[in-house]
Amino acid sequence: MAIKSGITVHSIPGKPFGAEVRGANLEDISPTDFDTIRRALYTHSLIVIKGQNDLSPAGQYSLTRLFDPSVTTYGHGKTLDAKKSVLHPDLKTIPHQPQVQVIGNGPVDSYESLTNIRLNHPHHKTFHKTHVPESEDRDFTRFYRWHIDAALYALNPPRATTLLAVRVPKSPPQTLRYDDGSGDELSVMRGSTVFSSSETTYDLLSEEDKAFARSTKVQYHAHPYIWMSGAKSRPDGLGMESEGLELPDSELPPIEQDKILVLPMCWKNPVTGRLALQIHPAAVEKLILADGSMVEDLKEVRAIVHRLQRPGIAPERLHAVEWEDGDLAVFNNHAVLHSVTGSFDKDEVRIFRQCNLAGSEPPVGPDGVVV
């Protein structure tokens, strides 16, 4: 007789996707409970598990690894160390659990054997071409950068990311502006992490675009986070402006051709079989079409990707997580895009822990068989 899990799964009022999971002991998960959690994750793309204040970094790593048990390497490997990488300022590695990163804002005397650290919440002014004016910065924000958690060079994209809210400052909400001419806005709690379902984005495509997406492959630039460091983002955070400001190959670390990633444009959900239009819009370099021809003009590549992805980030389609201390979010990194939002004063203290692991296999494409 099958053992019944004590875990229950609940929809979250007002959110178009995502679910709350209750009754989980994450420090010591039974196979039956993990099966329930995994099924919930692949059905809802994003799950929030409340009250996880006591989860250790080792427990967080173990949970993350259950989704891909043969792997042990952090999703970005050691590439965070590269000074020019756009990721470098944002993450601090926990010395005794190097797959877990501390992110947040403000001065922290001591946390998990890190002492006297200063965390910096990423602000769009460091990444976007245009900015919310300084005088409006306390009340308005933008999507910082829509992305998949993935190195996109040499390493496969992680399957799942876990994100634990250790300390959330109490601070007034903000209005998020798209500033792309649409007039779109979204009210968000300050520092909300915002998710878009790439499965919904695929479902919204015309039949012609779905056929295009199923048959097209995406090539990512080598060392993409260093490559993009000279360039600036569009105001909606969904990909880059094309001004020729990306770093030339001569300014990147050595490039090994066999480590360049070419991935399907659609990734298949291993539980439901749904397809996700899953592209990192800032890191994409080329599109490879069904007949083997390539779209190589960067401006044209980005225009195609933006046209396909923009409907999926419309305000009513997003899940903006309203963080409370002890919330653990787990997301299907093969089926959502996400973005940091918000701006904090420099001494507002916010502490989060993030963990993901480079995948054992590339994502499964639309014609692949999932087991």
Interface with Fe ion by CB under 5 A: which residues? 149
Judged by beta carbon, residue 205 or residue 357, the one nearer Fe ion is 357
Judged by beta carbon, residue 108 or residue 355, the one nearer Fe ion is 355
Residue 118 in 3-state DSSP?
Answer: strand
Judged by beta carbon, residue 305 or residue 336, the one nearer Fe ion is 336
Quote the Cα angle for 35-40-46, to 5°. 130
Judged by beta carbon, residue 216 or residue 281, the one nearer Fe ion is 281
Report, in Å, the least distance between residue 147 CB and Fe ion.
6
CA atoms 251, 254, 258, 261: torsion sign: negative
Judged by beta carbon, residue 149 or residue 246, the one nearer Fe ion is 149
Report, in Å, the least distance between residue 196 CB and Fe ion.
13
Judged by beta carbon, residue 149 or residue 199, the one nearer Fe ion is 149
Report, in Å, the least distance between residue 239 CB and Fe ion.
16
In this chain, which residue has its C-beta nearest to Fe ion?
A: 149
Contact (Cβ atoms closer than 8 angstroms) between residue 101 and residue 92:
yes
Judged by beta carbon, residue 162 or residue 343, the one nearer Fe ion is 162
Residue 261: CA count within 13 A, CB half-sphere: 24
Judged by beta carbon, residue 145 or residue 221, the one nearer Fe ion is 145
Q: Record the tokens describing residue 251, joined without a space.
A: 């300014």
User: How far is it, in rounded angstroms, from Cα 263 to Cα 256?
Assistant: 17
User: How far is it, in rounded angstroms, from Cα 223 to Cα 259?
Assistant: 10
The one-letter amino acid at 278: Q
User: How far is it, in rounded angstroms, from Cα 320 to Cα 311?
Assistant: 16
Q: Record the tokens describing residue 40, joined without a space.
A: 């919930």
Maximal CA-CA distance, the chain? 64
Contact (Cβ atoms closer than 8 angstroms) between residue 32 and residue 6:
no
Contact (Cβ atoms closer than 8 angstroms) between residue 189 and residue 322:
yes
Report, in Å, the least distance between residue 354 CB and Fe ion.
7
DSSP letter at 23 equals S
Contact (Cβ atoms closer than 8 angstroms) between residue 77 and residue 358:
yes
Report, in Å, the least distance between residue 141 CB and Fe ion.
17
Contact (Cβ atoms closer than 8 angstroms) between residue 344 and residue 121:
yes
Report, in Å, the least distance between residue 5 CB and Fe ion.
29
Judged by beta carbon, residue 29 or residue 48, the one nearer Fe ion is 48
**How many Cβ atoms sit within 10 Å of the Cβ of residue 198?**
25
Judged by beta carbon, residue 149 or residue 285, the one nearer Fe ion is 149
Residue with tokens 């006297």: 116
Report, in Å, the least distance between residue 253 CB and Fe ion.
22
Report, in Å, the least distance between residue 64 CB and Fe ion.
13
Report, in Å, the least distance between residue 92 CB and Fe ion.
15
**How many Cβ atoms sit within 10 Å of the Cβ of residue 96?**
10
Q: Is 46 exposed, middle or buried (0-12, 13-18, 19+ CB in 10 A)?
A: buried
In degrees rounded to 5, what are phi and psi of residue 164?
A: -110, 125
Report, in Å, the least distance between residue 254 CB and Fe ion.
26
